[in-house]
Amino acid sequence: MRVLIMAKEGEQSAAATPPTPEAMAEYQKFNEELVKAGVVLEAGRLYPSSQGKRVRFDGKKRTVTDGPFAETKELVAGYWLWQVRSIDEALEWLKRAPYEGGTFEVREVFEFEGM
Amino acid sequence: MIWRIESARLVAGLARVVGDIGTAEELAQDALVAALEQWPAEGVPERPGAWLMGTAKHRAYDLIRRRKTLDRKHEEIGRSFEWAQEGIDLETPIDEEVGDDLLSLIFTACHPVLSKDARVALTLRIVGGLTTEEIARAFLVPVSTISQRIVRAKRTLTEARVRFEVPGGAERIARLASVLEVIYLIFNEGYSATAGNDLVRPALCEEALRLGRILAELAPEEPEVHGLVALMEIQASRLRARVGPSGEPVLLLDQDRSRWDRLLIRRGLGALDRAESLGGALGPYALQAAIAACHARATTAAETDWLRIVALYDAVAQLAPSPVIELNRAVAVGMAFGPAAGLDLVDALVAEPSLMWYHLLPAVRGDLLRKLGRFEEARAEFERAASLTENVPERELLQRRVAEWAAEPIAG
């Protein structure tokens, strides 16, 4: 199965302190391990929400709002798409990630409809 | 789930120490049992992998000491003494050299001394971390069949004194071919299930892809590894388009291409680029991947570059001539130069003994005959094809096509 991991690390504003080189190295090591295990299909980080837009649908009406968005704790800062055999396997991997804070949401991707 | 993540690395690291994968697997499982007993009470260690490896290596050390004592009794002290001392290193962090150990494990599980079935089962068990039950379910055979196959495979490896290593030189090429073959066999069993009620078993395709991706990381300099990965990624991109709403097969040219998985296509084309840039454009897997890529790049079936596909099949046929390749080439020729040209090639294959029971020969021939308006002959070919396949949905598709013409015989 595929799972989408959404990293809700809080707002990544330009003013926030950049990660230390040690933290970066730790993260890269973890990511490399995932890649070597054939788990990672896709990964990406997002620009701060100040550069984002929202489009709201209401019947025929579309409303575009500019960032930044208020609900900082819910903002996705990065994502992974993983190929795993179960949610449990994804959790086992995720718990090893070298993060000190934030919430990571694990969601299964809907596949093979009708099968 | 710890087992799934850690087993391959664990078994690989231990096999380097104890020399055979059977013992290594037992030690790894003992360590896992210890973990399941201790972790709930004491908490999960910060590095679970290192904990498991450390625990298992201590047991390996005990085992070797016991063997040594036994050997001493048999007055064969020297060799295994040195072996034990150089082999055991509890201080080295497990991340070091793990890559080579894992590669050795894959090469050992896919050793040509084993039958194909044994290689497949052992690879899924030891490298993929699947349970015997999971493998049996995937291949629709009794659990006892798989467990016997694995036991026998381990014994064969021991008896043949297969060394736990990454082979070098000319041997590496042949051994790598065996590894690639095993992975592709697993993939194909998932992609075109040879028996049973499911047309595809995506779980097996996913296992094969995962093995391929792992191998591509371990041996990034091997173009054919990337060729195989490219082939599997592109073929897998069509998995959900190959099966219709009621489980019936949908042929490539009839598939809804918007259902193709763009992510897998992109990964596949990327892997093909890597294979080609490493000088491997003419490898057998890279060539087949290049053919698959022709379909993947065509937005509609009508845009397919059949001339290029024919040229690629020519290259495949030169490299590894086989009646099945000829049959595929005939299909491409039929599309590029018309059904009559394709039929000429297929007719030349009818007497081929190895294709005698191959259902796709009459299926292809029937399709070409139908396009040429020779419906009666076409119907006979489809009926023959239906009688030759053991896959239920595929047989029903063939029967349905015959029935459709029976309803309107002149429509074509």
ipTM confidence score: 0.85
A56 contact B CB<8A: no
Tell me the residue type at B210.
R
Q: Of the spans B45-59, B91-105, B259-273, which averages the highest pLDDT?
A: B259-273
- Give B212's contacts in chain A (Cβ within 8 Å): 38
pLDDT > 90 in chain B, percent: 61
Residues 6+ apart with CB under 8 A from B173: none
**pLDDT per residue as tens digits for the range B53-109:** 999 999 898 888 887 777 666 654 444 444 444 444 444 444 445 678 999 999 999
Q: What is the pLDDT of residue B77?
A: 46
Q: Are B345 and B329 within 8 A, CB to CB? A: yes
Q: What is the pLDDT of residue B195?
A: 60
Q: What is the pLDDT of residue B286?
A: 97
Q: What is the pLDDT of residue B75?
A: 53
**pLDDT per residue as tens digits for the range B145-175:** 999 999 999 999 999 999 898 998 889 999 9
Q: Give the Cα separation of B271 and B257 in Å (integer).
A: 21
Nearest CA in chain A to B201: A115
Which residue among B214, B218, B263 places its CB closest to the CB of A42?
A: B263
Domain A2-14+40-108 has CATH 3.40.50.720: no
Q: Are B315 and B321 within 8 A, CB to CB? A: no
Q: Which of A84-98, B25-39, B92-106, B294-308 has the lowest mean pLDDT?
A: B92-106
The closest of B24, B22, B1 to B13, measured between CA atoms, is: B24
Q: What is the pLDDT of residue A112?
A: 61
Q: Are B247 and B199 within 8 A, CB to CB? A: yes
**pLDDT per residue as tens digits for the range B368-395:** 999 999 999 999 999 999 888 877 878 8
A100 contact B CB<8A: no
Q: Of the spans A17-26, B116-125, B245-254, which averages the highest pLDDT?
A: B116-125
Q: Give the Cα separation of B361 and B373 in Å (integer).
A: 18
Residue B288 has pLDDT above 70, yes or no: yes
Which residue among B48, B202, B245 places its CB closest to the CB of A114?
A: B245
Residue A55 has pLDDT above 90, yes or no: yes
A113 — pLDDT class (breaks 50, 70, 90): low
Tell me the residue type at B335.
M
Domain B310-412 has CATH 1.25.40: yes
* Domain boundaries defined on chain A: 2-14+40-108
Q: What is the pLDDT of residue B81?
A: 45
How distant is the Cα of B50 from the closest Cα of chain A, in angstroms?
13
Mean pLDDT computed over every residue of chain B = 88
Which residue among A35, A88, A112 places its CB closest to the CB of B1?
A: A88
**pLDDT per residue as tens digits for the range B175-210:** 999 999 999 999 998 887 666 667 678 889 999 999
Q: What is the pLDDT of residue B281?
A: 92
How distant is the Cα of A14 from the closest Cα of chain B, in angstroms?
31
* More confident of the two residues B305 and B19: B305
Q: What is the pLDDT of residue B284?
A: 92
B248 — pLDDT class (breaks 50, 70, 90): confident
Q: What is the pLDDT of residue B392?
A: 80
| CB atoms closer than 10 angstroms to residue B160 | 11
Using the beta-carbon criterion (under 8 Å), do B4 and A85 form an inter-chain contact?
Answer: yes
Using the beta-carbon criterion (under 8 Å), do A93 and B5 form an inter-chain contact?
Answer: yes
Q: Are A2 and A41 within 8 A, CB to CB? A: yes
How distant is the Cα of A1 from the closest Cα of chain B, in angstroms?
8
For A110, which DSSP code?
P
Using the beta-carbon criterion (under 8 Å), do B217 and A35 form an inter-chain contact?
Answer: yes
* Domain boundaries defined on chain B: 7-93, 310-412
Nearest CA in chain B to A37: B214
Q: What is the pLDDT of residue B98?
A: 66
The closest of B213, B290, B300, B291 to B260, measured between CA atoms, is: B300
